């Protein structure tokens, strides 16, 4: 977002030198003291208001939430989106978001009456009263997932600990604890732990069964969530895995499938989503005060892919930007797998923006469901996100 500042000029009128026109030195010192005390008090009050009147949003995960952290790390364009046509719809320039515009996390911030939550690695940004975004495109729950090219979840947690220290230094221990306990911790993670199996030469499933591998991924996520809980976090929002076996970039992996969804990937999604649901119900029972919202990304995206016109779209399977069948070749922007790519005229007509990611219009629809969705007590969705932001 571009901000425009209005500069005010102050005209200083010269006055004649006279005893009557000059305040005494004692008066000047007293006046300056009042100004400094007032400024300090206002600053303290402002910081307190941040912690008492706002619920901070801390964002973890992958490219579905990355607002630009990967712009500032040493990686390849496979894990970056800081070039045209990314961002063309809303921002009118590339921000690092893997979409034509805003992401789910951006809309959630808006609904919570928060500003856009900035990337943690954004140079010069160190105002964390409203929260911060740690997400990194390509990241997984496992450190090994695309290792060296992304900010894995464990490192994102380390960054969050730095923010905790900053909040204590600015707000004091008590106010910082209030901020951290009222905050919402939003997660999108796991997709890359499984997708990496199909887009690299991974042999991990030669060593583990599918259930065992899912258990490892869920185990790592559990460790992160429990660590945040131990440090004061109580309110957690999750999206489960999308049906990435049906993403344009995965549909084209096996030519013999004739463009159908990759069943091996779909089976992992089902296993993971069931395990995630079980985990969260278990944590709710184990951890006092633990509250969560789990959004069914899988089902709700499938509905739009299979019945696009019902949700206002024209195309549910092919991407707006890319090349090849379904525009599944990850070439959007011409800086990845080839310089040639096609770009649709109207992203609002498409579910998929590029080979793996969604359009702003889809993200807005899903975010609205996450925020306003009907609560289901004693189910996998006991709270929507609005409930979490309002809960104490």
Contacts for 74 with CB less than 8 Å, ≥ 6 apart: none
Which candidate, 308, 307, 321, 312, places its Cα nearest to that of 356? 321
Pairing type for strands 321-322 and 342-343 reads antiparallel
Tokens of 159: 């960054």
293 catalytic? Reply is no
CB 381 within 8 A of CB 296: yes
Within a 13 Å sphere around the CA of 329, how many CA atoms are in the beta-carbon half?
Answer: 15
CA-CA-CA-CA torsion sign (222, 223, 224, 230): positive
CA distances from 11 to 8, 20, 22 (A): 10, 21, 18
Q: Other C-beta atoms within 10 Å of 143: how many?
A: 13
What is the C-alpha separation between 243 and 197, in angstroms, rounded?
Answer: 15
Q: Dihedral of the CA atoms 46, 48, 54, 56 (nearest 10)?
A: 110
| Catalytic, out of 63, 118, 136, 355 | 63
50, 54, 272, 357: the catalytic one is 357
> Would residue 354 show up in a list of annotated catalytic residues for this protein?
yes
* Alpha-carbon span 91 to 281, nearest angstrom: 38
Nearest Cα neighbor of 87 from 321, 330, 285, 368 is 321
Q: Which of 79, 130, 354, 355 is catalytic?
A: 354
Question: Is-contact 184 58, C-beta < 8 A?
Answer: yes
Residue 368 annotated among the catalytic residues of the structure: no
Catalytic (active-site) positions: 63, 354, 357
């Amino acid at each position: 977002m571009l901000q425009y500042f209005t500069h005010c000029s102050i005209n200083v009128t010269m006055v004649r030198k006279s005893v009557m026109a000059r305040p005494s030195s004692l008066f000047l010192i007293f006046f300056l003291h009042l100004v400094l005390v007032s400024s300090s008090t206002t600053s303290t009050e402002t910081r307190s208001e941040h912690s008492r009147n706002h619920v901070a949003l801390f964002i973890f995960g992958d490219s579905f939430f990355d607002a630009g952290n990967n712009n500032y790390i040493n990686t390849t364009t496979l894990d970056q989106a800081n070039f045209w046509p990314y961002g063309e719809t809303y921002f009118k320039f590339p921000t690092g978001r893997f979409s034509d515009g805003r992401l789910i996390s951006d809309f959630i911030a808006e609904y919570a009456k928060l500003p856009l939550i900035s990337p943690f690695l954004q140079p010069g940004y160190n105002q964390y009263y409203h929260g911060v975004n740690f997400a990194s495109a390509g990241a997984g729950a496992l450190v090994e997932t695309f290792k060296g090219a992304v900010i894995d979840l464990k490192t994102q947690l380390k960054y969050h600990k730095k923010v905790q220290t900053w909040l204590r230094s600015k707000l004091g221990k008590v106010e910082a604890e209030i901020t951290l306990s009222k905050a919402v911790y939003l997660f999108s993670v796991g997709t890359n732990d499984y997708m990496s199996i199909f887009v690299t030469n991974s042999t991990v499933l030669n060593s583990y069964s599918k259930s065992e591998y899912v258990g490892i991924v869920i185990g790592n996520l559990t460790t992160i969530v429990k660590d945040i809980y131990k440090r004061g976090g109580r309110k957690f929002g999750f999206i489960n895995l999308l049906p990435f076996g049906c993403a344009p970039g995965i549909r084209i992996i096996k030519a013999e499938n004739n463009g159908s969804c990759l069943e091996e990937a779909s089976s992992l999604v089902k296993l993971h989503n069931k395990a995630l649901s079980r985990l969260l119900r278990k944590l709710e029972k184990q951890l006092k005060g633990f509250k969560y919202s789990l959004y069914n990304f899988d089902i709700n995206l499938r509905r739009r892919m299979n019945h696009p016109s019902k949700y206002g779209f024209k195309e549910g399977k092919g991407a707006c930007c890319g090349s090849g069948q379904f525009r599944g070749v990850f070439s959007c922007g011409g800086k990845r797998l080839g310089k040639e790519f096609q770009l649709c005229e109207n992203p609002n007509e498409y579910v998929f923006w590029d080979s793996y990611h969604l359009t702003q219009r889809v993200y807005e629809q899903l975010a609205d469901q996450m925020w306003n969705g009907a609560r289901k007590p004693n189910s996998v969705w006991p709270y929507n996100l609005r409930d979490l932001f309002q809960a104490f």
